[in-house]
Amino acid sequence: MSAENHVKIAIIGSGPAGYTAAIYTSRAGLEPVVFEGFEPGGQLTKAGRVENYPGFINGVPGLKMMDIFQKQAQRFGTQIVPARVDSVDFSVHPFKLEVMKKTITADAVIIATGASARYLGLPSEDEYCYRGVSACATCDGPLYRGHEVVVIGGGDSAMDETITLASFADKVTIIHRRDEFRASQFMQKVALSNPKVQTRLSCIVEEVLGNEAGVTGCRIRNAKTGEMEVIPCTGFFLAIGHKPNSEIFKGQIDMDEEGFIFTKAGSSATNIPGVFAAGDVMDKDYMQAITSAGSGCRAALDAERWLVKSGLRD
């Protein structure tokens, strides 16, 4: 950053979307600055191994993958700032970002803050995170071929996870705290018609069980009878939604009731000219590393074109 703390493009957040946006904008000579936040590389750094990203024949640990992305961005001149953006002001231009009690101004901003999977909040859940506890069947389902797994949730996401897991696992048990599912009838029919799928309704997960090797089961309590039961499993999949990391943008950027940022059709542009969004913070449907990277590329190209059109591109 210059002495005046002004940047051409500020990228808020890292991960596949943020780093890809940085690679493209830095190669374009726009000297982007990435504010990584408190979780450099995003949630993918917690993934044990990424098997479905093209180019990594034998898979790659999520942490290593994000390190490669970061180094590639830095190779082209991206400046990485290991700090969180505390607040933004998009009502003025250049835009204002408050970072570590300093004001940074930017001609364009790319939001790539991601989304966090919702967890139950159990200590044992944290203990076995990525050692059997997962929030992505598409990512981790193939690891459980021939295993028994559970899915926590009752909406369409839970049914979708169940359908994916049933193509690999020998048995899938859906655990839901209510006495009926909230998922659409169609999704329920597809998921529950599979003979591999069983259900436990009106049940609350009390504890994830495991050992040094990982998850071995979960203890559930029937909310109506109080009866306890242990469900054997090696995979414990959460499907109770994601929380977009968009709090600091509320009131300035258009978003849905959950906090996912709206972008214009066929574009990464938000309702604020010069502000773009990429990755899971605006994509509630796919949430994959490759789709996030693709949207980061789109945001970078959109931002560069906007700067040119606005006469702000050197």
Distance separating alpha carbons of residues 111 and 282, to the nearest angstrom:
9
CA dihedral over 250, 292, 300, 103, signed as positive or negative: positive
pTM higher than the cut 0.85: no
In terms of C-beta distances under 8 Å and separation of at least 24 residues, what long-range contacts does 200-207 make, across chains too? 200/173, 200/174, 200/175, 200/176, 200/229, 200/231, 201/176, 202/176, 202/177, 202/178, 203/175, 203/176, 203/177, 203/229, 204/177, 205/120, 205/122, 205/152, 205/175, 206/122, 207/122, 207/124
Q: What is the pLDDT of residues 258-285, one digit of tens each?
A: 999 999 998 999 999 999 999 999 998 8
- Pairing of β 275-277 and β 235-238: unpaired
Q: Is pLDDT of 167 > 70?
A: yes
DSSP assignment of 217-272, as one string? Answer: EEEEEETTT--EEEEE-SEEEE-S-EEES-GGGTTTS-B-TT-PBP--TTS-B-SS
Q: Comparing C-alpha atoms, which of 36, 72, 42 is closest to residue 50?
A: 42
Q: In what helix (H) or strand (E) does residue 10 lie, and over which residues does it extend?
A: strand 6-12
- More confidently predicted of 30 and 116: 30
Of 139, 203, 218, 233, catalytic:
139
Residue identified by tokens 């059709």 is 265
Q: Count other C-beta atoms under 10 Å from residue 309's C-beta.
A: 10
Q: What is the mean pLDDT of the chain?
A: 93
Annotation says 314 is catalytic: no
- Per the CB < 8 A criterion, the answer to whether 220 and 229 are in contact is yes
Q: Tell me what the mean pLDDT of segment 104-110 comes to.
A: 97
Q: Which amino acid, one-letter code, is at 267?
A: S
C-alpha dihedral over 299, 301, 307, 311, to 10 degrees?
Answer: -160
Q: Could you give the percent of the chain with pLDDT greater than 70?
A: 97
**At a CB cut-off of 8 Å and minimum separation 6, what does 83 contact?**
35, 36, 37, 99, 100
CA 296 to chain centre: 13
Q: Is pLDDT of 301 > 90?
A: yes
* 3-state DSSP assignment of residue 204: strand
CATH 3.50.50.60 range(s) for the chain read 6-116+242-309, 119-238
Q: Tell me what the mean pLDDT of segment 94-108 comes to.
A: 96
Q: What is the pLDDT of residues 198-226, one digit of tens each?
A: 999 999 999 999 999 999 999 999 999 99
Of 140, 160, 280, 283, catalytic:
140
Q: Tell me what the mean pLDDT of segment 84-108 comes to.
A: 96
Annotation says 136 is catalytic: yes
Distance separating alpha carbons of residues 173 and 229, to the nearest angstrom:
13
When the candidates are 3.30.70.20, 3.30.365.10, 3.40.50.300, 3.50.50.60, the CATH number that belongs to 6-116+242-309 is: 3.50.50.60
CATH annotation of 119-238: 3.50.50.60
Integer-rounded Cα radius of gyration of the chain: 21
Of 136, 203, 218, 233, catalytic:
136
Structure tokens, 4: 């005046």
Q: What is the pLDDT of residues 1-16, one digit of tens each?
A: 544 699 999 999 999 9
Distance separating alpha carbons of residues 244 and 280, to the nearest angstrom:
7
**At a CB cut-off of 8 Å and minimum separation 6, what does 179 contact?**
201, 202, 224
Annotation says 140 is catalytic: yes
Distance separating alpha carbons of residues 221 and 206, to the nearest angstrom:
7
The model's confidence at residue 47, banded by pLDDT at 50, 70 and 90, is: low
For the ranges 236-240, 282-286, 294-298, the lowest mean pLDDT is seen at 282-286
Q: How many CA atoms lie within 13 A of 171 on its CB side?
A: 10
DSSP state of 171: E
pLDDT at 1: 52
